[in-house]
Amino acid sequence: VHDDSEPVDEAELAIEGALRPTSLSEFVGQQKVRGQMQLLLDAARIQQRPADHILLSGPPGLGKTTLAMIVAHESNRPLRLSSGPAIQHAGDLAALLSSLTPGEVLFIDEVHRMARSAEEMLYLAMEDFRIDIMVGKGAGATSIPLDLAPFTLVGATTRSGLLPNPLRDRFGFTAHLEYYEPEELERVIERSAVMLGVSLPPAARAEIARRSRGTPRIANRLLRRVRDYLVVHGRTGADIATVDAALDLYDVDAIGLDRLDRAVLDMLVRRFRGGPVGLSTLAVAVGEEPDTIESVVEPYLVRIGFMGRTPRGRIAMPDAYAHMGVPSAESALR
């Protein structure tokens, strides 16, 4: 989502897939979520039934898809991948659900973007493994009940606040993924570096982690850029200087903020003199969708203490001025 500015080609996607952990024990960080999911999967295995439905929320790149794959892998069930935007009619969902095999894990990314009519069909499907298919229109319309094979739904959303309560209530387990600590990202990088055949001293790993915006996907991507740099320069190992040289070529600053993060901060501290400014005004000013600002940019800026959310709008915090090289709210005026 955030990273759409960078062209993603098939080879990149293949590498991303290859770097995905396939078991909970390989999955770095998110200790609490991992423990809870392990229990959920163990219970299902002992009782020989599909696991409860799982809702994962959090910004892009934190491991929601990976966890869905792990659920399928650890419970030895097939996995079906879909997404909210692909389900624009109840019929799309009916076709999907009726084709599931018993125990299959169904992953719906961006589940908050499903059509309303499909959402309602999903309530019944999740609860009773049954749907009602409407046939005909007007007075002659009838509904035909259809039994489904039991399945496990793993829903992912960047905006759990947008999910209607009846849908959220039907997930047996809900987890919010948090941004990763630098030490955790170092472990992600260490693991991926081995798989990519790149040798990195701890200090170089720490440098990549520091620039990864708390996000494993970004950590892996930056690592690949460092690897490209090494390949081009005919080397196999990287020190900090090499990492910096490689990453300075990309729009990632010293603390990992990218072009859009900085555009938002710049608007906030300069044009709007620190705010408060409404979300949609801010979004228009930087030429982005409000949804992207709210679900991708803002959570991280809030998390690192650069931005605050008030009832009257978004405000810049002191650290944001310092980072953007703007002395203070007042002098930004002149």
Residues touching ligand ADP, count (CB under 6 A): 20
Query: Is 64 labelled a binding residue?
Result: yes
**Comparison of 153 and 269: residue with beta carbon closer to ligand ADP:** 153
Distance CA 25, CA 332 (A): 49
Contact predicate 109/153, CB 8 Å: no
Question: How long is the chain?
Answer: 334
* Residue from 19, 105, 175, 286 in contact with ligand ADP (CB under 6 A): 19
Query: Is 271 labelled a binding residue?
Result: no
Binders of ligand ADP among 143-172, rule CB under 6 A? 156
In whole angstroms, how far apart are CA 147 and each of 81, 138, 181, 211, 233? Answer: 21, 24, 45, 50, 60
Tell whether residue 216 is a contact of ligand ADP (CB under 6 A). yes
Q: Binding pattern to ligand ADP, positions 36-75, x when CB under 6 A?
A: ------------------------xxxxxxx---------
Tell whether residue 214 is a contact of ligand ADP (CB under 6 A). no
Tell whether residue 242 is a contact of ligand ADP (CB under 6 A). no
Q: What is the distance, to the nearest Å, from the Cα of residue 334 to the centroid of all Cα atoms in its chain?
A: 39
Tell whether residue 186 is a contact of ligand ADP (CB under 6 A). no
* Nearest by Cα to 34 from 139, 147, 180, 160: 180
Amino acid at the residue 300? Y
**Comparison of 125 and 177: residue with beta carbon closer to ligand ADP:** 177
Query: Is 142 labelled a binding residue?
Result: no
Query: Is 116 labelled a binding residue?
Result: no
Q: What is the DSSP letter of 269?
A: I
Query: Is 107 labelled a binding residue?
Result: no
Distance CA 315, CA 31 (A): 32
* Nearest by Cα to 110 from 121, 100, 118: 118
What residues are annotated to the active site? 64-65, 109, 158, 217
Instruction: Specify binding-site residues for DNA.
Output: 309, 314
Which residues are near ligand ADP by CB under 6 A? 16, 19-21, 27-30, 60-66, 156, 188, 216-217, 220
